[in-house]
Amino acid sequence: MFPVGYDHRSIESKWQRRWGEIGLYKARDFAGKPKNYVLIEFPYPSGERLHVGHGRSYCALDALARMRRMQGFNVLFPFGWDAFGLPAENYAIKTGVHPAVTTEENIANAKKQAKSWGLSFDWSREINTTDSDYYRWTQWIFLRLFKEGLAYKAEIPVNWCSSCKINLANEEVVAGACERCGAPVRRRMREQWMLKITAYADRLLDDLELVDYRDDIKQQQINWIGRSEGTIIKFEVLNPGSGANSERLEIRNSKLEIPVFTTRADTLFGVTFLVLAPEHPLVKKITVKGQKKRVEAYVAASLKKSELQRQEERRKKTGVFTGAYVWHPATGEKLPVWVSDFVLPSYGTGAVMAVPAHDQRDFEFAKQFRLSIKEVVKNESGSKFPKEAFTGEGTLVDSGQFSHLQSRQAAAKITAWLKKRGCGEAAVDYKLRDWVFSRQHYWGEPIPLVFCKNCASKIGGGNKDSGTGNLSKGERLNPGWVPVPEKDLPVKLPHLEKYKPTGTGESPLAAAGDWVSVECPRCGGPARRETDTMPNWAGSSWYFLRYADPHNRKQFASSRKLKYWLPVDWYNGGMEHTTLHLLYSRFWHKFLYDLRLVPGPEPYSKRTSHGVILGPDGQKMSKSKGNVINPDDVVAEFGADTFRVYEMFMGPFEQMTAWDPKGVIGVHRFLERVWNVSGVICKQSVVSSDKSLERKLHRLIKKVEEDVLSLKFNTAIAAMMEFLKEVMSSDYRVARADWEVFLRVLAPFAPHLCEELFYQLNPKPYVRNHKFSIHQQPWPKYDPRMIEEELVTIVVQVNGKLRGKLEAARDKEEEKVVELAEKLPAVRIQLSGAKITKTIFLSNKLVNFVTR
């Protein structure tokens, strides 16, 4: 009866079909069991298909999901496609086929792959972010953000690749160059939609305490948010060319001020000039006539540089004088205002008070342009001033009433003093920037807003009678921008044949005249749709919510279902997504939480990341190096179970590991051996297992369970391999029932093989019940008493004469047993004064001391 060889081909397709037919992995809403939501990052369906890196995350979390089901949890383990965005668009551009077509094809192919791996996804909940039934809710959430005043248009620099002729997202700029073509990236100013994620900065930081993320992942979130405490100080601008006191008064009334952000208010008396970022809006306003040309040329040149280039510490400082001056708020001195690209527009206020004696960049700048340097902080040790800036803290000098104070205390006092005079206050600044939420690409969710000139003029004119009272915060913040009514969602992405980037920097949608012209939903007048689309981060910012209720047409998900399934119990994904994606989705979730639309403040209870898989040569896998392992080949040759087990066995889950083809063969042999051993056990009739094997089995159950929950899939598998060896070397002294326990432990890892072998051993329940499966059997319980170490009695002799006995754990190391033996009272007496010449040790049996 028993088939001769392990034929993965027939087994795997057979069981996959059956599991699909009986809906084995369907998650049931409100089932009366504890829920467990296991989530993996959903993939981009690119032309490259799924690779072994996807396999690592999917197979491991699949084993977890399967074990959790056997442990009695109602598991939600869903899957879907993050199908908008650049990868899909790039692929379409490369192949010349419309992204809608290639996306569908790519999904079909990747789905076939994922299915061939035997993953236990609940396919009935599959989602696709490009499906208008899905993105209607992405648009809906955006509109809620807009209405709450968390979306605004701003003129900001965008990264322009002059070779690809497109605007690049920051993450597509690598070391100042375009990620795809390598050409240098220029910065251009453009109006973009922004989302005010900074309004949530503190909560995104503080609530990290509520979650169990791996330490380095938490740290990345903290660094990215980059909270820093300091002072904003306002410097008043003098009228250009002025100097006389009478004119100073005049300007007092004009109130042109330059706010700066500093973490070192204690150095206020050392400020000798101010520096603005080239992008600073005040540059144009304050530059005097005579300096205009020079300043404009400098600003144009710096826009060509990337942020990274600008921050390079060792670069020679460049800059230009605006001709304008500010007053020092404490000393009343006139300070020149310069422009330099080492000041970034996106940090602090985009302007700095330069303290060359105590800031190295300011120091270099002052040297370069012969500006004055004034020392105001001293410290006996550590100062190399005037060779370089002294950046440490110390005692204040030449600082008026604040002299002799220590830095920290001085900073607080100076801040309070400034506040009293209305020219400064304590401030917190974040590295985190608001989220640039528009892209000039075709393949994305349309932003559901229209622009109406008529409405703009009503709001802009400040006419109180025009009924601005019923406007949302968003409309008041963005005059003329009118949301598409919720009942008209989704705003479907029109089918365009010209989907390639236009070369002008505008979205291809701008050319779709019919689609762009609409009636204003507010006043009925002529209006234009927003033609920018959402970034590829949008759809993934809330997809885990949709899985709770993927077919809902009235809401993004029902609150009862959200309450049942959320938060995600365990989320795994790539290390490259542990900053932005995690922050963005946590931000959206918190926003929805504030609207009482989701049950808790955090979306994911636990977050882990898998290590990258390298090619067999230890290099990053890439087509050009020819070291790419195609999972389809592995599955075809060795089967999905081998692929799965190898993906988990190859090394510690969280570490970078090289693919080893020999390792794959080793895993395949292991599974073959499982097959063969099962054949032997099927034929024999051992009623009760060898005691020591039975103990080992119990230990195995415990170990696998613990290892899976702590991401040690590799050691769990090693323990199963070890157990199998023991079975073979102990002459198969395993009862059928115990062997079935072993199969149940292995089932989450090699689901097809174990299902088949379980069936071979127990065909009846399968025949009787079409829905019967090993994957529905309970996870075996280990007996704690069986885990305890087994004790053996060891005889202790001195010169061959029995002097005592001791109990020790089986297989205890020689060294330890001998130590115990020496301590037995009778033995001690015999050994006192004698010299041991030899110690004979028989494992688990005897110790014999030979003396002279």
Q: Contact residues for Zn ion (CB under 5 A)? A: 452, 454-455, 520, 522-523, 525
Q: Can residue 343 be called a binding residue for ligand ANZ (CB under 6 A)?
A: yes
Cβ nearer to ligand ANZ, comparing 267 with 438: 267
Measuring CA to CA, which residue among 492, 508, 513 is closest to residue 439?
508
Q: Can residue 371 be called a binding residue for ligand ANZ (CB under 6 A)?
A: no
Least distance CB 342 / ligand ANZ (angstroms): 6
Q: Identify which range of 256-264, 499-507, 744-752, 809-817 contacts ligand ANZ by CB under 6 A.
A: 256-264
Nearest-angstrom CA–CA distance, 94 and 101: 13
Cβ nearer to ligand ANZ, comparing 133 with 425: 425
Among 353, 410, 671, 677, binds ligand ANZ (CB under 6 A): 353
| 359 touches, from ligand ANZ, Zn ion, none (C-beta below 5 to 8 Å by class) | ligand ANZ
In sequence order, the 6+-apart residues with CB closer than 8 A to the CB of 233 are 259, 260, 262, 265, 268, 329, 353, 418, 423, 424
Sign of torsion over alpha carbons 89, 92, 98, 103: negative
Nearest-angstrom CA–CA distance, 545 and 650: 33
Least distance CB 697 / ligand ANZ (angstroms): 57
Least distance CB 377 / ligand ANZ (angstroms): 7
Q: DSSP label at 551?
A: T
Q: Can residue 410 be called a binding residue for ligand ANZ (CB under 6 A)?
A: no
| 850 touches, from ligand ANZ, Zn ion, none (C-beta below 5 to 8 Å by class) | none
Among 262, 399, 608, 714, binds ligand ANZ (CB under 6 A): 262
CB atoms inside a 10 Å sphere around CB 311: 13
Cβ nearer to ligand ANZ, comparing 348 with 639: 348
Nearest-angstrom CA–CA distance, 444 and 493: 8
Please give the residues from 385 up to 404 whose contact with ligand ANZ meets the rule CB under 6 A. Answer: 391
Cβ nearer to Zn ion, comparing 11 with 449: 449
Least distance CB 276 / ligand ANZ (angstroms): 9
Cβ nearer to Zn ion, comparing 24 with 450: 450
Cβ nearer to Zn ion, comparing 234 with 522: 522
CB atoms inside a 10 Å sphere around CB 626: 9
Least distance CB 343 / ligand ANZ (angstroms): 4
In sequence order, the 6+-apart residues with CB closer than 8 A to the CB of 508 are 441, 442, 496, 498, 499, 500, 501, 502
CB crowding 725-735: b at 16 or more within 10 Å, else e: ebbeeeebbbb
Cβ nearer to ligand ANZ, comparing 281 with 526: 281
Nearest-angstrom CA–CA distance, 784 and 136: 53
Measuring CA to CA, which residue among 163, 712, 180 is closest to residue 171?
180
Q: DSSP label at 17?
A: H
Least distance CB 530 / Zn ion (angstroms): 14
Cβ nearer to Zn ion, comparing 456 with 682: 456
| 454 touches, from Zn ion, ligand ANZ, none (C-beta below 5 to 8 Å by class) | Zn ion
Two tokens, residue 5: 């060889």
| 520 touches, from Zn ion, ligand ANZ, none (C-beta below 5 to 8 Å by class) | Zn ion
Least distance CB 478 / Zn ion (angstroms): 13
| 630 touches, from ligand ANZ, Zn ion, none (C-beta below 5 to 8 Å by class) | none
CB atoms inside a 10 Å sphere around CB 101: 11
Among 220, 263, 395, 559, binds ligand ANZ (CB under 6 A): 263
Cβ nearer to ligand ANZ, comparing 320 with 545: 320
Q: What is the DSSP string of 224-291?
A: HH-EEEEEEEEEEBPPTT--SHHHHHHHHHH--EEEEEES-GGGGGG--EEEE-TT-THHHHH--GGG
97 exposure class (CB count in 10 Å sphere: 0-12, 13-18, 19+): middle
| 358 touches, from Zn ion, ligand ANZ, none (C-beta below 5 to 8 Å by class) | ligand ANZ
Cβ nearer to Zn ion, comparing 70 with 455: 455
Least distance CB 367 / ligand ANZ (angstroms): 16
Q: Can residue 375 be called a binding residue for ligand ANZ (CB under 6 A)?
A: no
Least distance CB 365 / ligand ANZ (angstroms): 11
Least distance CB 360 / ligand ANZ (angstroms): 9
Two tokens, residue 762: 């127990």
Nearest-angstrom CA–CA distance, 779 and 768: 22
Least distance CB 227 / ligand ANZ (angstroms): 9
Q: Can residue 228 be called a binding residue for ligand ANZ (CB under 6 A)?
A: yes
| 740 touches, from Zn ion, ligand ANZ, none (C-beta below 5 to 8 Å by class) | none
In sequence order, the 6+-apart residues with CB closer than 8 A to the CB of 180 are 90, 161, 164, 172
Least distance CB 640 / ligand ANZ (angstroms): 50
Residue 34 has, within 13 A of its CA and on its CB side, a CA count of: 9
**How many residues interact with ligand ANZ (rule CB under 6 A)?**
19
Binding mask 288-327 toward ligand ANZ (x if CB under 6 A, else -) reads ----------------------------------------
Least distance CB 449 / Zn ion (angstroms): 12
Two tokens, residue 337: 């205002």
Nearest-angstrom CA–CA distance, 766 and 754: 14
Indicate left, alpha or beta for 296 from its phi (over 0: left) and psi (-120 to 50: alpha). alpha
Q: Can residue 56 be called a binding residue for ligand ANZ (CB under 6 A)?
A: no
| 343 touches, from ligand ANZ, Zn ion, none (C-beta below 5 to 8 Å by class) | ligand ANZ
Whether residue 36 contacts residue 76, with contact meaning beta carbons closer than 8 Å, is answered with: yes
658 exposure class (CB count in 10 Å sphere: 0-12, 13-18, 19+): middle
801-809/424-430 β-pairing: unpaired
Q: Identify which range of 167-175, 350-358, 691-699, 744-752 contacts ligand ANZ by CB under 6 A.
A: 350-358
Residues that bind ligand ANZ (CB under 6 A): 228, 261-264, 267, 277, 343-344, 347-348, 350, 352-353, 355, 358-359, 391, 429
